[in-house]
Every structure is written in structure tokens, then in C-alpha cells.
Amino acid sequence: MSYQALYRVWRPQQFFDVVGQEHVTKTLQNALLQEKISHAYLFSGPRGTGKTSAAKILAKAVNCERAPIQEPCNECPSCRGITDGSISDVIEIDAASNNGVDEIRDIRDKVKYAPSSVKYKVYIIDEVHMLSIGAFNALLKTLEEPPKHVIFILATTEPHKIPLTILSRCQRFDFKRISASAIVNRMKMIVDETGVEVEDKALQVVARAAEGGMRDALSLLDQAISFSQDRVTLEDALTVTGAVSQNFLNRLAFSIKKKDVAEGLSALEELLFQGKDPSRFVEDFILFYRDMLLYKAAPTLEESMERVMLDEEFQELTKMNEQEEIYEIIDILNKTQQEMRWTNHPRIFLEVAIVKLCQLEKVARSSSNEVGKLLSKLEQLEAELQELKEKGIQVSDESPVASKPKPQRVNRKGFQAPAGRINEILKEATKSDLNLVKGRWGEMLGRLAQKQMRSQAALLNEAEPVAASTSAFIIKFKYEIHCQMAMENASFLQVLTKLFEELTGKQLQIIGVPEEQWLHLREEFLKGHKDDGSDELEGESSTAEADPIVSEAVKLFGDTLIEIKD
């Protein structure tokens, strides 16, 4: 067990070794030289960017026997003791596993004691955002009134989870993702020192796969060294990181540009045969075209490239593809990536995407033809309109002035109530039958809700029975669309019929009619039956006139009858 991982062996021991965080290290070095040391610091940023390493270097620098100094000497007993962990005055705490109130109270009780070996007692609390609310409150008391011999260094990847009362009492330093070139330079120095042979392209693949974290990069490099034989090649790095080789991406991009579906599907088959993850491939392909777009717009910004290396094939592809094409390709790949998240068969979506990409020009040409036809038609209509404006509309003198045009029959679309059946019901309609239906109307709506048919019951919210006979009744709907939806739903009508049979003991046919049509049908019916006493279609008017209590109720609450209770 004498072997140590690269990221542990090459952990920074000076601010100079902390790669890509010059804005942090320079500030801390100036503060050390000027002896302006704060009692609390917050180091925030992505994983593997040097937060904990910088905290230990700061702990050594403030306690170095040669202080004030901008770098720890790493030679005095204090520096060596802090490095090997033998000095108990520098305490590292993992808040992920020690996040309770008791642990922080223990710190609060011990901070009042002076350090035993060095000048400052330093508490490094890693992943501080994992502390509980009670623990934060206990820590706050210590940060408000800290002893002069204590320094707190809090490290976190999620600063937004830390209470503002804690943040306001700390000097905050934000660590940023390390650039791929800086990671490559650091790894080159390490492999030169260790004597391992690694291809430059392999280092670039590892650096891009690390996504800005030096620790992740060294772990992947360590894994690639173990995987390789004598020399770490590009293929070794691709295998370890799970990335797709740029040669393969170039080949697939060429097949898409040439509209060669067979070659594109063959390349995809080869990729999947090698065991590559389809989701990772789509992500790599999106980044490939994203880098192509950026390189086309700003060729000098090589550092902004996420995925590609600027070989000749890539540069040739960039010249061949227009920006509009790249936009469309990225859009299709992005939609494919979203669809693949919710399927057990990602290969199908990949194949469909490749076929789509290889047929982009055909689709564009077809769309262009359609647009051309529409523009041609538009120009023709504009010419005709201009001609009408100039010459006016010519009226023939031969047409007889007195002749009237024959009325055109309007073909009305929408729902048409059965007028014949409604007239038959009106001939047999009585007040007692209508009151029987109205009296059970509210109960019927309640039962519909109990049957989990709320959407269907909503159609009856602004509907009411207006006429009834012993065998049928008519429902008036305020809106035609509601009437159509209700009357064309056979299962809904069956449920309504059954409910009224249970409530009234009669099997009644249900006829729906929109309010506008009902008013017309009712008026026509009353005109034809003036002398037979047919004034009992709707119970509202006659009942209101006969009963003064009902008349007063209508004045107070309106004439919409909800439910009748004896």
C-alpha cells in the first residue's frame, strides 16, 4: 500500500502550485505580507479546483516561523508538522459527516484555548453547506466574537446554501474552473517528473473530460497510466474517459455533409459496437458542432473549445458548413438528447437523428419550393388588386336592375337541435313533469361529481331543464359548444338517463338545445298554439305569477332555478 494516487502526491504545497486561481492566491499573498489576516474565510467553487489545498497552504503561511511571508517555507517544524498532520492546532473537519449541533458546540468550547504549537489555531471546515440550521447558529456565535488566535476557513461547492449571516462575516473567495490548457500544462510537468510517456492528444482528452477540475484530471491520468502498457496513447485516454474519438466525429460529420445515409448509419453502428454510451455520444456530437460554430465565428479563441482539437479535417469541415446548417444540426441533436432521456431504446432515436441530419438539404429544398409557390401566388394577387384599384369593378348594363338576387341558403355549421322532436315534447309538456326534473337537478349534479365525472358535469353548469313530458325533457345550454359536446357523448347521455331513472323512477329521453335555438323554437311553437293554452313550457313565468313568494325570490336572486325542495 506504498503507492499513492497522483492527486495526493502532487497536491499543491505553495500558492504558486495552485493552478488557475491567481486571483485568489495573489490576494492572499498580499494579505500575508501586510499581516492583514481575517478571522474567517469562505472558499467556494467547483470540485477539485484547489479550495482545501489553498486552505492548508494559508494555515501553513500564517504559522510559518519566517512569517510574514507570501509562501510557506515548507522547511520549518510548523510547516512540516501541518503538512504531515502532526500539529493538532490545524483541524480539518468534514461537515458532511460532522454536521450536528454537538460537533460545532465542541468547536465553540475549544476555540477559547490558545494553540499549543503554533501562533494560530486554524479550523478548516470542508463542505460547510452540509451543516444543519442548529449547527450554523452555533457556528455564528463563534464567528461573531472570535478569539484573536483562531482562523476559520470554510470550503463549499454550494455557497447559496449558506445563511447570509455566516457569509457576511467571512472574506469570500470564488474559485473558478481551471482551463483545459492550464490542466494540460500541469499534467505535462507531472509526467515529465515521473518519467511516464503520454501523448499530447491524450492529455488534451483527459483535460477536457475533467471539466475544469485538477483533481479529476489527475485521477483520470492515473487511470490511463494504469490502463496503458508503456505509453499512454490517445485511444487509451478515450477508453478511460468514455469519450468518442475526434476521427470518428469527423467521419460522421463528413457523411452528414455529403448526405450519405449509409455511411452515417455504418459509423453509428461501429460506435455502438465499441460499447460507447449513446447519451455520451450525443453530448460529444453537440459539443463538436458547438465548437465548430465558435471556431467559425472567432477562430482565435482556441481556448473556448470544449471538445475538439483543431486538426485539418475539422478546419475543412468548418469551411464546408454554413452557420445556418450548424444551428439546425445542433437543434436536431438537442431534441434527440431530450427524447433519449425518457426511452429504453436510445439507439432508435440516434438512427432517426442521423437519417434526419443526412436529409436536411432535401427538407430545406422542399420547404423552399413551397415558399416560392406562395410568394408567386402572393405577387399574382397583389397585381390583381392593383389592377382593381386602377380600373375599378366593371358592372354590366345588361343585367336587369329590378331583379333581386335569389337568397343563398347558408350552410350553417355547428350543432342543430332536433326541432321536430322538440315540438313533440312541447305538445305533451306539463309543469308537474318539469318541476319533477328541476327538483332532482341539483342532486343529479352532485351524483355526477361523485362518479368522478367533473369535466362532464361542468358542461351542465350553465344549463337548465326548460320543458318536460312523461317520456322526455329538454335541457337548454347557454353555449352551443357545450350542448354539442354533451349531446354527442353517448356514454355521458347514458349516465344521465340512468341517474334520472334512479331519481325520478322514469326513463326519460334527454334532448339538448342551445339557448339561441331554443328561443326561436319556443317562439314558433307559441305562435302556432295561442288558443290551446300552451303557456307552460317553462315553469318560471307562470309559477312566478301564481305565487307571490316565488315572484319575490326571483326579484332577489334571479330567475335561474337551482333546486326545488318541498
151 and 32, same structural domain?
Answer: yes
- Cell numbers linked to 329: 444540426
Instruction: With respect to residue 394, please indicate whether it lies within any of the assigned structural domains.
Output: no
Residue 216 grid cell? 479529476
Q: Which of 148, 174, 200 delimits the end of a domain?
A: 174
Region 237-251 average pLDDT: 82
pLDDT the model gives residue 491? 82
For residues 371-396, average pLDDT: 74
Q: Into how many domains does the chain fold? A: 4
Among the three residues 135, 152, 174, which one is the final residue of a domain in this structure?
174
Q: What percent of the chain has pLDDT over 90?
A: 27
CATH label of the domain that carries residue 515:
3.30.300.180
Residue 386 CB contacts under 8 Å (≥ 6 apart), including other chains:
none
Cell of 75: 522547511
With a CB cutoff of 8 Å and minimum separation 6, the contacts of 293 are 323, 326, 327, 330
C-beta separation of 204 from 224 below 8 A: no
Q: What is the dihedral of CA 363, 365, 370, 372, to 10 degrees?
A: 160
Residue 42, SS3 per DSSP? strand
Amino acid at 365: R
CA–CA dist 322, 318 (Å, integer)? 8
Q: What is the model's pLDDT at position 448? A: 79
- The model's confidence at residue 90, banded by pLDDT at 50, 70 and 90, is very high
My answer on whether 225 and 159 are in the same domain is no
Residue with cell 341558403: 409
- Residue 399, pLDDT above cutoff 90: no
Of 241, 257, 282, which residue constitutes the final position of a domain? 241
Please spell the DSSP secondary structure of 209-240, one letter per residue. HTTT-HHHHHHHHHHHHHHSSSEE-HHHHHHH
**Residue of 131, 52, 46, 120 whose CA lies nearest to 92:** 52
- Is the domain of 43 the same as that of 118? yes
User: Residue 166 falls within a domain, yes or no?
Assistant: yes
What 3-state DSSP class applies to 547? coil
Do 157 and 20 share a structural domain?
yes
pLDDT value of position 378: 84
Helix (H, G, I), strand (E, B) or coil at 463: strand
Look at residue 354 and tell me if it is in a domain: yes
Domain presence at residue 441: yes
Taking the CB of residue 350, how many other CB atoms lie within 10 A of it? 22
User: Is it the case that residue 133 has pLDDT exceeding 80?
Assistant: yes
Say yes or no: 227 and 319 in one domain. no
Whether 546 shows a pLDDT value over 70: the answer reads: no
- Axis-axis angle for helices 480-487, 490-504 (nearest 10): 80
Residue 398: per-residue pLDDT: 47
467 & 544 share domain: yes
One domain for residues 87 and 138: yes
Same domain membership, residue 552 and residue 514: yes
Angle at 63 between CA 59 and CA 68, to 5 degrees: 110
Residue 483 to residue 488: CA distance in whole angstroms = 8
393 domain residue, yes or no: no
Residue 543 is inside which H or E element, if any?
A: helix 539-546
Q: Is residue 3 classed as helix, strand or coil in its secondary structure?
A: coil
pTM given for the model: 0.58
Amino acid at 236: D
> What CATH number should be reported for the domain holding residue 218?
1.10.8.60
* Residue type present at position 101: V
pLDDT at 116: 87
**Is 205 found in the same domain as 135?**
no
Handedness of CA 484, 490, 495, 500 (dihedral sign): positive
In a domain, 539, yes or no: yes
Name the more confident of 437 and 454.
437
Share of the chain above pLDDT 70, in %: 86
The helices-and-strands tally (H runs, E runs) of the chain is 27, 10
**Domain range spanning residue 505?**
419-557
Grouping H, G, I as helix, E, B as strand and the rest as coil, residue 91 is strand
